[in-house]
Every structure is written in C-alpha cells, then in structure tokens.
Amino acid sequence: MSHPIRLANAEDYPRIMEIWESAVKATHDFLAEEDFNYFKEAIPRDYLPNLEVYLITENDDAKGFASVVDGNLEMLFIHNDTRGKGYGKELYQFMKEKTGLTKVDVNEQNPQAIGFYEKMGFKKVGRSEKDGSGKDYPLIHMSL
C-alpha cells in the first residue's frame, strides 16, 4: 500500500514533534529526561529549519517523517500508534530512492531500530561512544 509523502514546512513542526515524542517515548527508554527535553526544544529550533524533512501521510495526517543529509539518514520516526504497519519501510524506501542514502547512525540502546535497518540491508561498520550532540549515548554506524 502506498501513502502520500511530501516535503514538510514550518506549519508541520508541531505534528512532527508529536510524532517524534511518541516514537522516542516508545523506543528510547534509555534517554534521560533532561536530554529528552533538550532535544524536544532543539529539534524544531535548530534542526528542522535546516533540513529537508519528508512526511508520510494518510488522509492528510502525518504518520512519520524522515530526513537525509549527505547520504546519511539523519532521522526517521514513525508515530508509535502506527509503528509496525509498514510506514517506516515505505518512508525509508522513498528516501533511499530520492536521496541515494547509504548510511545511518543508530543509538546502540535502540535494538528495534538496529534490527529495522538490518532488515533494510544495512551492516554495522563502526561505533562511537557519544552521539552527534556529544552526549553519552553510543552510536552504531551502519552502511549499505
């Protein structure tokens, strides 16, 4: 089943953040509350305005979003209410075709995401002790 995917704009930020919050609360139980709050403020302020973010929708309701920079899948989040229904795979495949992405960094403490990307064909190629913000959340570097 195919769902519409479109470029997000600033009016979509509140829904994007709802999706982000529901997905993170479901999959990132390792994230300290202070870091959760930091990202909740930083993403719409510092990240979204500088990225091409795509939304996957159903009946004009965004179910997930993704962004790629320089071949790296920077973010792919699906609302927790719709996880496991193929939106993530469909959005990933769209982003791969559109951008030619070849890499993704995944929180080591998020085995569901690592498993998802392995199913999409990624292999583990490295590890970092800290995330991109310099916080103590190890990353697994994966590549196609």
92 and 133 Cβ atoms separated by less than 8 Å: no
pLDDT cut 90: percent of the chain above it: 97
Using one digit for the tens of pLDDT, what is the confidence trace for 39-75? 999 999 999 999 999 999 999 999 999 999 999 999 9
User: In this model, does residue 84 exceed pLDDT 80?
Assistant: yes
**Site of tokens 């609302």:** 79
Write down the pTM of the prediction.
0.95
72: left (phi over 0), alpha (psi -120 to 50) or beta: beta
Residues counted in the chain: 144
**Angle, CA of 120, 131 and 92, to the nearest 5°:** 20
Q: What's the Cα-to-Cα distance from 45 to each of 20, 48, 75, rounded to whole Å?
A: 14, 7, 15
When pLDDT is cut at 50, 70 and 90, the band that residue 12 belongs to is very high
